Structure 1
């Protein structure tokens, strides 16, 4: 079956490779080393045009790959069929200021993305998305067989399909696990037994799928800890099977424009702006931000000029409806004149706010990482973040034994004692906003200096260096399996 897929894809592959040769000079063409044959690296990212942190990871990896490996052709598998390749490249440039060599970028449009859309599966959502990713990836490799497959969105159930059919190396960049061990703590074994069995079955299937990833990269400590526990079969395979499972999982922090943002001065007076940079999705909990900001305004009365600025991208009509509902909520809370919504902002617009705002907020529970929080801190904003996930474990951490920001919990979490127990007394967001915005000028400067220092390790340079290390290993595996297929008489 894999051989049939290769034959089916042979003409389009040859067309792409011919285009590669046409783009280089004749002198380079004649001197080309056979070992440096064109390599098609497939990046599976069905929402590549979304403009969020996950997309920054994708396009930074593509950019670094192009610079390090002139023979690499990057194929992007996406379901964004309503835009053209040129429009995608233009958005990458505007949103992330990443300029790509477009002649070595191939966009493969997929028509079955609806199969991984949560709305397609109102019941058994996890299982539906997992199973839906299988025909979606089959559509992808039917249209173009890559030499290396890299999933940058976490669709683990694609790995067995690609690995077994094509026998090519599989790299996984995991933003967050589809199911995590702490999800089981939320269930009552007696009252929710069917759901418990369903989740346990899914966790076992997820572990099996993860076993087929040759290189696993987690975006932060929270994801790393969970994925190691959930993908226990991968660890077992590393010991008993010679399928290149010799490498342990690693943490690869997402790339953030820290150097550029750290140029903003922190010793100047900032405007009383509370800034949120997050895609307009329900899990980002913009409702909570609005409610807590309204409580803060109510608490200080007319003594503050603070405003809340919500910047984010929207993926589809559901996200647009979500923004509409948020606007209505702001009006109901009486803070419409203090809240600003900015959709699909350019990077220049975002930088303008990062250079002038005082506080950056992130309300998501168990945010797997939080690139927006890094951007806040690199620009000198004081972070107010939920006491969980990446913002707690990796980003808004102490520097030289002193805090860089404030962590909050919801009143419900406090009452139910579900907040993370870290030995600190945490309050709700409105109170933490009050503390952050009430700091003296000297205290605020010290917080900002520590925040900028903490953001150093999330630079683009650090990401690219570690990404290229892992990519080199994937390319070594590709060379080995390529030669192995030739020796066995299969189409290379």
Structure 2
């Protein structure tokens, strides 16, 4: 029934126009971001986008659709500054949503992607009924809401961090590769794997249809752009805009670090795809490979928790550290402030990233800007856009397996001070390509034609 409703919404959006009159719509941008406390790169994009809109079109009001019931205009403005160092021109207005459980992954133990996608339509319906703006701006990748927004007569803009489904995901199912989104029950069964391929193929077709409803789609990396162009098939409406990374604030940190106790850091939300267990196993292996006469390194794992599932995952990681007998050398930092994060990054000699097919990898850029040599997963954004040579100088390491990560950790810990400073300086120069200033310029250039068009026609 929901799929039938989706198809009907798409047809209506392209045929009979908006369901409510223009006079009911606010001269506003409605930013669909149900979790305004997730603390990740997506939230930084939200606040930088709000600031960019405020600077480019001050005549438009910015409304944030959020499921965080304690959010207020003042608290969100303060959060953007305290957590991310982003200073807004004025507080964004808030539209509270009460149907957020329908996009929670725990609501759908099976067929999670289609469940969350259809649930996002229900949540967007609540949002658009409460406030129908001229522009509907999705900053979280809920593509199934786009035909609905067009049905309400909105211009649809989105910033896509990663495709909900990709050819890489299909490939893993075909090869029956075990991963967080392809469990052992599926990989061990030929029949279940074939069923999942059919499901993914069907979902991919739907995803392509709804995604093509966007009037403008900004994507965050070369990898994401390639996949979205292949799926949505509207290349003229897709623009690559690298996400805003705090390079200016971090680049003032001194490159010289204390070598008495080498510190490595990991900055990522406590989500399964971030592969924190791999990091702990690699750290344990690295300690065993180090000369016993050398001081033991310290590993600081920094992240945010969105919900109880993330809290449980953090507790599991603490138990894993005890199991690996590295708990005395591992620190966990939850939901730290922007200022505290800068302090932690300023003391690290290496930054660890381990997500497979990370669409971009803001944390990798932050490591590089702060002077911490990155050890990133050898795939997608880090491989294609970030950890590349700068002026012929190596800027970091790429790895896939526990052994490769452990080797890179040992390499950084044991390299000479001069060699480390040379690599860290090259990494910092590379990171300057992904600054907030660069995002602001590219973002405004991308949205300007749509915002100017409405301004002229109003």
Q: TM > 0.5 between the two? A: yes
The match for 1:264 is: 253
SS in 2 for 1:187: helix
TM-score normalised by length of structure 2: 0.88
1:224 corresponding residue in structure 2:
225
Q: Find the aligned partners of 1:139 and 1:342 in 2 and give their Cα distance.
A: 35
**Pick from 42, 50, 54: which aligns with 1:66?**
54
Partner of 1:390: 381
Residue equivalent to 2:64: 76
The Cα shift of 1:6 comes to 5.1
Please give the root-mean-square deviation of Cα atoms over the aligned residues, in Å.
Answer: 2.0
For 1:279 and 1:9, the matched residues in 2 are separated by 39
Structure-2 residue corresponding to 1:88:
76
Q: Is the 8 A contact 1:154 1:174 kept in 2?
A: yes
Q: Aligned runs of 1:98-117 on 2, under 5 Å?
A: 98-103=86-91, 105-117=92-104
SS at match of 2:242: coil
Residue 428 of structure 2 corresponds to which residue in structure 1? 452
Partner of 2:145: 158
The answer on 1:463 being equivalent to 2:439 is yes
The answer to whether the Cα contact below 8 Å between 2:57 and 2:451 also exists between their aligned partners in 1 is: no
Aligned match of 1:42: 30
Between 223-232 and 137-146, the greater mean CA deviation after superposition: 223-232
* Contact residue 377 and residue 400 of structure 2 kept, 8 A: yes
User: CA shift at 1:102, angstroms?
Assistant: 3.8
Among 408, 412, 430, the residue aligned to 2:406: 430
3-state SS, counterpart of residue 448 of structure 1: helix
Residue 47 of structure 2: SS of its match in structure 1? helix
For these two proteins, the number of residue pairs brought into alignment is 426
Structure 1 position 401, deviation (Å): 2.6
Residue aligning to 2:187: none
Post-superposition Cα deviations, 1:131-190, rounded to whole Å, max 9, x if no partner, equal: 111111111000000111111110000111111x22321111110000001222123396
Separation in 1 of the partners of 2:247 and 2:342? 12
Partners of 1:227 and 1:293 lie apart in 2 by 35
Separation in 2, partners of 1:278, 1:198: 30
Taking the aligned partners of 1:476 and 1:168, their CA distance within structure 2 comes to 15
Q: CA deviation at 1:330?
A: 0.8
The unaligned stretches of length 5 or more in structure 2 are: 1-11, 176-189
What is the match of residue 252 of structure 1? 241
| Aligned with 1:342 (options 316, 333, 339) | 333
TM-score normalised to the size of structure 1?
0.82
Asked if the contact 2:20–2:153 (Cα under 8 Å) also holds between the matched residues in 1, the reply is: no
Equivalent residue, structure 1, for 2:207: 206
2:124 equivalent among 128, 137, 143 = 137
Residue 328 of structure 1 is matched in structure 2 by 319
SS at match of 2:447: helix
Structure 1 portions without partners, runs of 5+: 14-38, 236-246, 412-426, 484-492
Helix, strand or coil at the partner of 2:174:
coil
Q: CA deviation at 1:68?
A: 2.8
1:300 equivalenced with 2:290 (yes/no) = yes
The reply on whether 1:356 has 2:362 as its aligned counterpart is: no
In structure 2, the CA distance between the partners of 1:9 and 1:329, relative to structure 1 (3 Å rule), is: farther
Q: Distance in 1 between matches of 2:23 and 2:409?
A: 58
CA separation in 2, counterparts of 1:182 and 1:7?
Answer: 42
1:121-200 alignment runs, 5 A limit: 121-163=108-150, 165-188=151-174, 191=191, 192-200=193-201
Distance 1:431 1:140, change over 3 A: same
Cα deviation digits, residues 77-136 of structure 1 (max 9, x gap): 111124444333322221012222445x11111111111111111111111111111111
- 8 Å CA contact 1:60–1:98 kept in 2: the answer is yes
Distance, in Å, in 2 between the alignment partners of 1:200 and 1:337 is 47
- Deviation for aligned residue 1:295: 1.2
Give the whole-Å Cα distance in 1 for the aligned partners of 2:78 and 2:305: 17
Q: What secondary structure does 1:147 align onto?
A: strand
Matched, 1:51 2:39: yes
Once the two structures are overlaid, the 10-residue window that deviates more, 397-406 or 262-271, is: 262-271
**CA distances 1:345-384 after superposition (whole Å, capped 9, x unpaired):** 1111111111121000001111111111111001111101
1:17 corresponds in structure 2 to none
- Aligned partner of 2:301 in structure 1 is 310
| C-alpha distance in structure 2 between counterparts of 1:134 and 1:439, whole Å | 52
Cα deviation code 1:169-227 (max 9, x no counterpart): 11111100000012221233964222111111111100000111111111011111111
CA distance in 2 between partners of 1:253 and 1:3 (Å): 32
Which residue in the other structure is 1:242 paired with?
A: none
Tell me how far apart the structure 1 counterparts of residues 455 and 143 of structure 2 sit (CA, whole Å).
Answer: 23
Q: Which of 436, 448, 451 is the aligned partner of 1:472?
A: 448
- Counterpart-to-counterpart distance in 1, 2:162 and 2:110: 21
Secondary structure of residue in 1 paired with 2:98 = coil
The CA distance in 1 between the partners of 2:321 and 2:277, in whole Å, is: 9
Contact 2:215 / 2:237 at 8 angstroms: preserved in 1?
A: no
Residue 487 of structure 1 aligns with which residue?
Answer: none
CA contact (8 A) 1:169 1:478 kept: no
Alignment partner, residue 366 of structure 1: 357
